[in-house]
Amino acid sequence: MTSWLLRKPVWVSLLLLVLVVPWFFVHLPHSWRSPLLLAVWDLCHILFFFCVVYAVQWRYKLVSARSWFLVAALAFAVGGSIEMIQGMTGRNASWGDVARNMTGVWLGLAWGVAQAQWLRWHRVLSAVALAVLFVPFINLAVDRVKSFNEFPVLANFERPVGVDYWRGDVSIAAVPGRENANGHALKVELNTARYSGFYFEHFPADWRGYKRLHFDLFNPGEKSLTMVLRVHDIWHQQSGQAYGDRYNVRFQAEPGWNSYQFALDDILNAPTKRDMDLSRIQTLGIFTMNLPQPVTLYFDNFRLEP
Ligand SMILES: [Ca+2]
């Protein structure tokens, strides 16, 4: 089988094309869209354009500078159009995708024809470009392995990739007065919108066997704030995100450091018509309401405790 594949790379290329194309237009459910899976998605652009160019060279050997330019211009136009269609269908258009498209084209041009002396540098440089485009995926994959090894720590913000898992006006920053090696936390900018806050997703979802959810909060301001913690499982969408189908609890963010523990039994019993599925926890959100002026807070040490 392997030797057949090596003799017929163009058929492999065409087969891969048929398999890859539909995914450009699939709208993944929100719960699937983890940063790591999106990074894999991004790499499909390279594979797609590599396969197209490789398959084309089966019939038309693209060796002149003019043909390379034409193919690159065509790929740029096609790739740009795909981005625009994705922009219109609710997916995000991105220049990163265009860079991945063009790298796929470059790889296909350089590796799709028999070895020639002048191709050598194109082969080396296109492979380097491929390696560079793999870096985000590798970073996310390494981060995931570390994250699962650290569990029941959910987030301590000592790795830069961690912020990809949070939605909202957030960044990783050193906490004022605690600028040591473990002093990084999630810096959250809250605004005056009716609801202002942030969400955390794609963490290890099986919380069974633990008793409490813990986190710390540093409020550098002088006023106490009323905050809300919300937690729900993967089935919450089925209720249309009904208020009574998730865990909601208020807590006070006093000036300075605060430390909180929330009983997982309360999260289990929070939905009015069912039990929360502690084996499939999906989203943790923290927000505040109707702030008179913007506020900055720092969150750290999200973890489960026995
Ligand atoms: Ca920390």
Give the DSSP H or E segment for 51: helix 35-59
Q: Look at residue 303 and tell me whether its pLDDT is greater than 70.
A: yes
Ligand 1 centre distance from Cα of residue 173 (Å): 9
Structure tokens, 277: 């599925």
Between strands 225-233 and 170-174, the pairing is: unpaired
4 pLDDT exceeds 60?
no
Cα–Cα distance between 33 and 22 in angstroms, integer?
17
Q: What is the pLDDT of residue 36?
A: 82
Band (pLDDT 50/70/90 cuts) for residue 166 is: confident
Separation of 124 CA from ligand 1 center, angstroms?
Answer: 41
Report the C-alpha gap between 77 and 100 in whole angstroms: 14
Q: What pLDDT score does 289 carry?
A: 93
CB contact at 8 A, 41 and 99? no
H/E run at residue 171: strand 170-174
Over range 208-213, report the average pLDDT: 96
- Total Cβ atoms within 10 A of residue 62: 16
CATH of domain 154-305: 2.60.120.430
CA–centroid distance, 286 to ligand 1, in Å, is: 18
Residue type, 96: G
The alpha carbon of 169 and the centre of ligand 1 are apart by a number of angstroms equal to 18
Centre of ligand 1 from the C-alpha of residue 210, in Å: 21
Residue 244 and residue 242: Cα distance in Å, rounded?
5
Task: Compute, in angstroms, the gap from residue 256 CA to the centroid of ligand 1.
Answer: 16
Cβ pair 70, 56 in contact under 8 A: no
Mind listing the pLDDT tens digit for each residue in 52-103? Answer: 888 888 777 777 778 888 888 888 888 888 778 877 766 666 778 888 888 9
Residue-wise pLDDT for 245-294, tens only, equals 899 999 999 999 999 999 999 999 999 999 999 999 999 999 999 999 99
Segment 29-61, tens digit of pLDDT: 777 777 888 888 888 888 888 888 888 887 777
Structural domain boundaries of the chain? 2-149, 154-305
Ligand 1: centre distance to CA 184 (Å): 4
Helix (H) or strand (E) holding 131: helix 120-150
**pLDDT of 237-254, one tens digit each?**
887 788 888 999 999 999
Ligand 1 center from residue 138 Cα (angstroms): 23
Residue-wise pLDDT for 96-152, tens only, equals: 888 888 899 898 888 877 666 777 888 889 899 999 988 888 988 888 888 889 999
What distance in angstroms lies between residue 156's CA and the mean position of ligand 1's atoms? 4
Query: Ligand 1 centroid vs 177 CA: distance in angstroms?
Result: 13
Scan for tokens 């002149």, then name that residue: 64
Cα–Cα distance list, 191 to 111, 166, 208 (Å): 52, 17, 35
Give the Å distance between the CA of 170 and the centre of ligand 1.
14
Gap from CA of 53 to ligand 1 centroid (Å): 47
Cα-to-centroid distance, 76 and ligand 1 (Å): 43
Average pLDDT over residues 20-36: 74
